Amino acid sequence: MDLESLERWFERSRRGDVRAWAKLVDSLSGIVMAAIRRARLSREDGEDIFGLTMATLYQNLDRIESGAALPGWIARVATREAIRRSQATKAKSTDELNEDWMGFSEEDVSGALLASERADTVRTALTQLNPTCQLLLTSLFSDDPVPYDDLAKRAGIAIGSIGPKRARCLNALRQILESNPLFAESSQTTPTS
């Protein structure tokens, strides 16, 4: 997911740009669909949850700090709504709730939410880096690989500098994240040089 485009679509959507809203919904749809699949909802329930999640996003556009926060935010909303629907569906069909039937345990949900929070924190930390580092690191994890020559041109650096520069950027990102309680435990177990 391209954070620059996401931020641009987010800002334009806040101003009422219908095309930007459509691109924003499209870019976040995979996250919502993953939550729906994990809850094992019917197609009809999944469509309802998708619509409800996007309506909730639209209603809260002015409350969300930045476009970088959207993937984590949308994952939490979609997961919460999918769990609610799954529980409601199960309660209608039987007298007892069966966690095995729902496909999640409390630990699974907690783990998914923690992972979502961490991803959101990483995205926010990325915005604290300089634009070159943001470009190099987002391209590293992009679904669409960027050829090194294109990346070098966009970053304004030599191709041979991409690896070393990216390593320095990762180190800077790690230092930012180490100050965050969500990463405190993992940074204590990571050897330092």
Going residue by residue through the chain (193 aa), what tens digit of pLDDT does each one get?
577 888 899 999 999 889 989 999 988 888 888 888 888 888 888 899 899 999 999 998 888 888 888 888 888 998 888 888 888 776 555 544 444 445 556 666 667 777 777 777 888 888 888 989 988 888 877 767 788 888 899 899 998 999 999 999 999 999 988 887 777 655 444 444 4
- Please report, as a single letter, which amino acid is at residue 60: N
At 6, phi and psi to the nearest 5?
-60, -45
What pLDDT score was predicted for residue 157?
93
Domains and CATH numbers, the chain: 1-116 (1.10.1740.10), 128-193 (no CATH)
Q: Catalogue the long-range contacts made by 177-180 (C-beta closer than 8 Å, 24 or more residues apart).
A: 177/121, 177/122, 177/125, 180/121, 180/125
What pLDDT score was predicted for residue 55?
92
What pLDDT score was predicted for residue 95?
45
